[in-house]
Amino acid sequence: MMSFFDEQAVTSSDKAFFRMRKEIVEGEIAAGSKLSEMELSTKYEVSRAVVREAINRLESCHLVERKANVGARVVTLTPEGLMELYQIREALEGMAARLAAQHMTDSEIRDLEGLLSSQFDEVKNQHSYYQEAGDLDFHYRIILGSKNASLISMLVNGLYHLVRMYRVQLGMAGPRVTTAFDEHKHIVRAISNRDPELAEILMRRHIQYSKNNIATKLASNQSHF
Amino acid sequence: MMSFFDEQAVTSSDKAFFRMRKEIVEGEIAAGSKLSEMELSTKYEVSRAVVREAINRLESCHLVERKANVGARVVTLTPEGLMELYQIREALEGMAARLAAQHMTDSEIRDLEGLLSSQFDEVKNQHSYYQEAGDLDFHYRIILGSKNASLISMLVNGLYHLVRMYRVQLGMAGPRVTTAFDEHKHIVRAISNRDPELAEILMRRHIQYSKNNIATKLASNQSHF
DNA sequence: AGACTGTAAATTGTCGACAATTTTCAATAT
DNA sequence: ATATTGAAAATTGTCGACAATTTACAGTCT
């Protein structure tokens, strides 16, 4: 369990891409820093061509920005940027929930309910790991349940790594466990009732709450300095 | 007028990318066909490396699909695929309209109103070119008005070329002029009233109508064969 | 001192060649 | 005839070298 898209690296560029993405998302390569093709190719012991290809793919994930004849830099993180991403998440995942209510199979919905009740036990027993992995699992299933291939690709391959980068590096790993769990429950109920309208509304509110939660944290973080 | 993002080609790869994108969108390179790197590099008189880079960028626009060690193919068009894109458009452009109602400046809104009334004259005088260019112009302005850089990039650089490819190749260039014009008018009114909620609802309905219009055309097209 | 200029260094862009993999297809066996 | 095998052909992946462009910096001028 817990592996949705086992994107396995077949080529060298794949490996370089995955590795660089990990290092960028987790801050090992600093936000805003320049990506020197030469430097990286010696560091990873591959040719410049594969580094270039990896950088191109990072650019299409919006993790780095490239200027012709000048080079690529890791995107710089701003609170506004994170808020913008949450606006997009609200729109896309709201639609995903709507579609999931229409297109998920009965057995997929039962699995989703099962996931939730197993998570309920964990939360009750104070296994606090819920927030990160559990929340992600829940959202992934609904995204996949939309059965909209383009939407799935946009969210899974693109947006989520960006969001994760922001959350890791701006220190937004906070809990918000208990209320989020109830929100998940209501979303699943709407889906199992085959109520697309409500599923979308609830998902959007769920993401708005997350966004507000993060916004206040960002504000308090800034006031500490 | 009528050039929003004059994405100018500075490098050879840019030129190859723009040219290939044009040929794919307009069907000169057939949907579903294989893209041979060698073949294209002789055709365009550039090295394989620049063709490769262009193909990579086409892949990140979802215009081609690539499999490692096998090659790249232009995406195949299906009615379902087009419907999926319209679901995403509904979500993203709905959000764009909401944000535009919050973030567009008064002068930008006045310009938008000006655009609409100039288009009204054209429609009245039977200049039927409205549908394609005029509709696009309207939507672009609202997208830019959202002031959300990630959202703008997703729609302008990514989704719109895909949608255009479908519309061109499936022969969906039809009119729907008069009703669409009224819908535009109501959306602008909501924006100028600074009513994000209504702006989003109206934009979503506008896109739903487009979608339904296309769906019926697709159905009638199929029944002809 | 500060602004401008031109040359040198460094970095990115492009190329052709070689390596690895897939595909083709003829030869063979059942 | 069909299926299987294996070598050859074709295609993609990777590499190092060269070209074009940008950046750094020393020298000059006001």
Question: Taking a C-beta distance cutoff of 8 angstroms, is the pair A182, A107 a contact?
Answer: no
Chain position carrying tokens 């099962």: A114
Question: DSSP class of residue A132?
Answer: I
pLDDT surpasses 80 at A20: yes
d(CA B197, CA B95): 9
Question: What band does A220 get if pLDDT is binned at 50, 70 and 90?
Answer: confident
Question: In this predicted structure, what is the pLDDT of residue A61?
Answer: 94
Question: Taking a C-beta distance cutoff of 8 angstroms, is the pair A88, A159 a contact?
Answer: yes
Give me chain A's average pLDDT, please.
90
In which order are the strands placed within the sheet that holds B64-67? Answer: B34-35, B71-74, B64-67
Q: Which residues of B lie closer than 8 Å to A, measured between beta carbons?
A: 10-11, 14, 49, 52-53, 56-57, 59-60, 62, 68-69, 81, 84-85, 87-88, 90-92, 94-95, 99, 148-151, 153-154, 162
pLDDT surpasses 70 at A19: yes
Question: What band does A201 get if pLDDT is binned at 50, 70 and 90?
Answer: very high
d(CA B188, CA B198): 10
The percent of residues in chain B predicted with pLDDT above 90, rounded, is: 73
Three-state DSSP at B166 gives helix
State mean pLDDT over A82-108.
97
pLDDT surpasses 90 at A200: yes
Report the first-to-last Cα separation within chain B, whole angstroms: 42
d(CA A165, CA A21): 9
The percent of residues in chain A predicted with pLDDT above 70, rounded, is: 88
Residue B76 backbone class (left: φ over 0; alpha: ψ -120 to 50; beta: rest):
beta
The chain B residue lying nearest A69, using CA atoms, is: B11
d(CA B115, CA B109): 10
Question: DSSP class of residue A133?
Answer: I
Q: Is the CB of B43 under 7 A from strand D?
A: no
State mean pLDDT over A56-78.
96
Q: Is the CB of B11 under 7 A from strand C?
A: yes
pLDDT surpasses 90 at A40: yes
The chain B residue lying nearest A154, using CA atoms, is: B154
Question: In this predicted structure, what is the pLDDT of residue B188?
Answer: 97
Residue B92 to residue A94, Cβ atoms within 8 A? no
Buried (b) or exposed (e) across B142-165, using 16+ Cβ within 10 A? Answer: bbbbbbbebbbebbbebbbbbbbb
CB atoms under 10 Å from CB of B100, counted, come to 29
Give me chain B's average pLDDT, please.
90
Closest residue by C-alpha to C1' distance, nucleotide C20: B69
d(CA B164, CA B105): 29
Question: What band does B130 get if pLDDT is binned at 50, 70 and 90?
Answer: low
By the 10 Å C-beta count (0-12 exposed, 13-18 middle, 19+ buried), B24 is classed as buried
CA of A40: nucleotide with nearest C1': C11
d(CA A162, CA B205): 30
Higher pLDDT, B141 or B219: B141
Q: Is the CB of A71 under 7 A from strand C?
A: yes
pLDDT surpasses 90 at B222: no
State mean pLDDT over B55-82.
95
Question: What band does B223 get if pLDDT is binned at 50, 70 and 90?
Answer: low
> B157-203, pLDDT tens digit by residue?
999 999 899 888 888 765 566 678 889 999 999 999 999 999 999 99
Q: Which of A125-129, A190-194, B34-38 has the lowest mean pLDDT?
A: A125-129
Question: In this predicted structure, what is the pLDDT of residue B127?
Answer: 58
Q: Which residues of A lie closer than 8 Å to B, measured between beta carbons?
A: 10-11, 14, 49, 52-53, 56-57, 59-60, 62, 68-69, 81, 84-85, 87-88, 90-92, 94-95, 99, 148-151, 153-154
pTM: 0.93
Q: Which of A123-137, B25-39, B49-63 has the lowest mean pLDDT?
A: A123-137
Higher pLDDT, A158 or A173: A158
> B73-129, pLDDT tens digit by residue?
999 999 999 999 999 999 999 999 999 999 999 999 999 999 988 887 776 676 555
DSSP-derived secondary structure for A70-124: TEEEEPPP-HHHHHHHHHHHHHHHHHHHHHHHHH--HHHHHHHHHHHHHHHHHHH
d(CA B57, CA B61): 7
> A162-185, pLDDT tens digit by residue?
989 988 888 876 556 677 888 999
The percent of residues in chain A predicted with pLDDT above 90, rounded, is: 72
Q: Is the CB of B189 under 7 A from strand D?
A: no
Question: In this predicted structure, what is the pLDDT of residue A151?
Answer: 97
pLDDT surpasses 60 at B61: yes
